[in-house]
Amino acid sequence: MSRKGVLLFLAMSAIWGIPYLLIRVAVRHLDPETLVLGRTLPAAFLLAPLIIKRGWIQLVYKHLGWIGAFAFIEFGVPWYIMSSAEKHLTSSLTSLLVCIVPLFSVLAHKARVRDEKIGPRRLLGLALGTGGVVLLVGLDVRGGSLFWVAAMLLVAVGYSIGPIILATKLAHVPGPAIVWGSVTLVSIVYLPWAGTHLPSHISAETLWCVATLSVVCTALAFIVFFELIQEIGAARSVVVTYTNTAIAVILGIVLLSEPLKVGIIVGFPLIVIGSVLATSSTKPVPATL
């Protein structure tokens, strides 16, 4: 990996390691709908000058249907579910559940390419990863939280489908144009409700969390991520899923005093090992966003 690739990889690990902590803090005072709007609307305005300068608005309009589908699967629904889930789950557990995206990516890829066989090594990886999730949930989750675990699994499914849309329907559309079109559409959908249900008071801490989510973890993050894909390829970029999860778990334990439970200690390594084995293939598996 080149020096540029290493720097981009480290940057993405940090940038996508902090959203879980920021979401957990922000939803203490904001509704999930408001948080999604706060994350997407500023990002849309920040990216707009770049899109206008590059003349990509017509390109976005031409592919609006598939960009809309991608926005729904990657932004609109997952960010609402994730924000809602973090009212009931720790940021550590939420990030670990997102870490299983590579496992779903393998299954989604298999469903699309039916004639490709899943070898013994990848089957072992799927089994280990699934076992890690079972241990993680079985040891650490109780009661009503199971509903939100199931909801996060739905997020992981969406995150595994989104890259397929990128690879098959939006391959020739520049990454920033896709992100701008997506956050713009999502903000338009959420604006009517969230814009009329703003809290009477928002603390400085909450504002900083929302601003960081929008500017750093959305607008900047996806520009860096598409650069990372160009530099090291989509298949290798998927590894960032594991490093940002590790960062998210550490931040949750250190800054939010979240417990380091047995499920995390046992389940996380199994999920990582299983995902690495499951995504080992001669053909690249799409990276997750």
pLDDT tens for each residue of 158-176 = 888 888 888 889 989 998 9
- Top pLDDT among 123 and 269 is at 269
Q: What's residue 284's pLDDT?
A: 42
- Top pLDDT among 60 and 96 is at 60
In 3D space, the residue among 167, 13, 29, 37 whose CA is nearest the CA of residue 95 turns out to be 13
Q: What's residue 116's pLDDT?
A: 62
Q: What is the pLDDT of residues 179-232, one digit of tens each?
A: 999 999 999 999 999 878 888 888 999 999 999 999 999 999 888 887 887 787
Q: What distance in Å separates the CA atoms of residue 265 and residue 47, rounded to the nearest whole number?
A: 39
Model confidence at 256: pLDDT above 80: yes
Report residue 289's pLDDT band, with 50, 70 and 90 as the boundaries: very low
Model confidence at 75: pLDDT above 90: yes
Q: Is 124 exposed, middle or buried (0-12, 13-18, 19+ CB in 10 A)?
A: middle
Q: What's residue 18's pLDDT?
A: 94
Model confidence at 288: pLDDT above 50: no
Mean pLDDT of 86-112: 80
Q: What is the pLDDT of residues 102-116, one digit of tens each?
A: 777 777 766 666 666
Model confidence at 282: pLDDT above 60: no
Q: Which two tokens stand for residue 38?
A: 């706060």
Percent of the chain with pLDDT over 70: 86
- Top pLDDT among 118 and 70 is at 70
Q: What's residue 235's pLDDT?
A: 57
Q: What distance in Å separates the CA atoms of residue 222 and residue 173, rounded to the nearest whole number?
A: 14
Amino acid letter, residue 64: L
Mean pLDDT of 116-134: 74
Report residue 4's pLDDT band, with 50, 70 and 90 as the boundaries: confident
Mean pLDDT of 138-167: 80
Tell me the CA distances in angstroms from 122 to 96, 276, 282, one per residue in order.
20, 9, 11
Model confidence at 30: pLDDT above 90: yes
- Top pLDDT among 125 and 278 is at 125
In 3D space, the residue among 269, 288, 289, 266 whose CA is nearest the CA of residue 279 turns out to be 288
**Rg of the chain in Å (alpha carbons):** 18
- Residue the block writes with tokens 């739905």: 154
Mean pLDDT of 69-83: 94
- Top pLDDT among 38 and 271 is at 38
* CB distance 67 to 182 below 8 Å: yes
Q: What's residue 241's pLDDT?
A: 75
Q: What distance in Å separates the CA atoms of residue 60 and residue 94, rounded to the nearest whole number?
A: 32
Q: What distance in Å separates the CA atoms of residue 35 and residue 148, rounded to the nearest whole number?
A: 18
Mean pLDDT of the chain: 84
